[in-house]
Amino acid sequence: TRAILSHERWLDILSSRERIALVGESWYEVLDVFPDAEADAIKKAYRELSLLHHPDKNPDQDDSIFKKVQAAYEEAMSSGLDAAARAKIAALRTKVKKWTAGARSSTFITKIDPDELMEMLLEDSCIVLNVSEEEGMLRDADELITFESLNYLKLRLKPEAFQERLDNLREDENRVVTVSWSGGRCGEFCTLLVDIFGFDADQLCQLHGGIQAWEEWTRNPKNAKWVKKLRQHLRPSGS
């Protein structure tokens, strides 16, 4: 049964829908509360929005906004974090959001060629991060080395999920080599690490030409001895 509402109530629903559609994806923006809001305030905001947007409560029975409100509430409450911790996460997301909008530096990030990456891998002096959406591996005809995935898009949307890992990488003495299929976005990803997560630009580099360039280099017969060395290094005899 469709709800019968007063004109004023329907205007309230439409106004709230418009606000939620225009704000960001952060739970506190959707619920219209402060990032450090206490649990009671979050619950109150959720109840009020539920009364407006539950499909049983409005004439067109649209549930899209209600689902967004519900997801925001679940995110706010399921983590078990206190108000201070939620505020810290919110502050980090806000910094990343401003960075994405253009508040960033013009940091120079070194580009390395496949032969330089090969040398670093043989010396165990680097960590390779795949910043693209695709899972993948550095390979030639056979698999050579899998690499850790740290999706650039996910990092921008939920930076707190990667905070601990990035802190560990920053404190490590090894270089961080960023790769993607063709090399795109690597420099931008590195700049984000410098501006938001406190990395020194000298610790970061990007693979020129990306995984495509690496695969072409490893398939070249003149580099076969280096490929063999890397296989032996990664899979020593008897292991």
The confidence band for 188, taking pLDDT boundaries of 50, 70 and 90, is: very high
Together in a domain, 53 and 148: no
Please report, rounded to a whole number, the percentage of residues in the chain having pLDDT higher than 70. Answer: 89
pLDDT for 9 equals 84
Q: How far apart are CA 128 and CA 112, in angstroms?
A: 12
Q: What DSSP state is assigned to residue 62?
A: -
Q: Which range marks the domain in which residue 61 is found?
A: 7-100
Pairing outcome for strands 143-146 and 148-149: unpaired
pLDDT for 10 equals 83
CATH of the domain at 226: 3.40.250.10
Domain boundary among 52, 68, 100: 100
Residue whose entry in the numeric block shows the structure tokens 């209600």: 66
**Which residues make beta-bridge pairs with 139?**
143
Together in a domain, 78 and 140: no
pLDDT at 98 over 90: yes
Together in a domain, 139 and 202: yes
Together in a domain, 173 and 68: no
CATH of the domain at 51: 1.10.287.110
CB neighbours of residue 169 within 10 Å: 20
CA 35 to chain centre: 20
pLDDT for 7 equals 82
Domain boundary among 100, 132, 154: 100
Model confidence pLDDT, tens digit, residues 193-237: 999 999 999 999 999 999 889 989 999 999 999 999 998 888 765
227 phi and psi angles, rounded to 5 deg: -65, -40
CB neighbours of residue 24 within 10 Å: 11
Domain boundary among 100, 127, 161: 100
Question: Residue 1: inside a domain, yes or no?
Answer: no
Question: Residue 2: inside a domain, yes or no?
Answer: no
Distances (CA, A) of 148 to 56, 155, 190: 46, 14, 15
pLDDT at 81 over 80: no
Contact 53, 65 (CB under 8 A): yes
Together in a domain, 52 and 160: no
Mean pLDDT of the chain: 86
Together in a domain, 157 and 126: yes
In the chain, the number of structural domains is 2
pTM above 0.85, yes or no: no
Model confidence pLDDT, tens digit, residues 7-66: 888 888 889 999 998 887 788 889 998 877 888 899 999 999 998 998 887 767 678 899
Together in a domain, 93 and 121: no
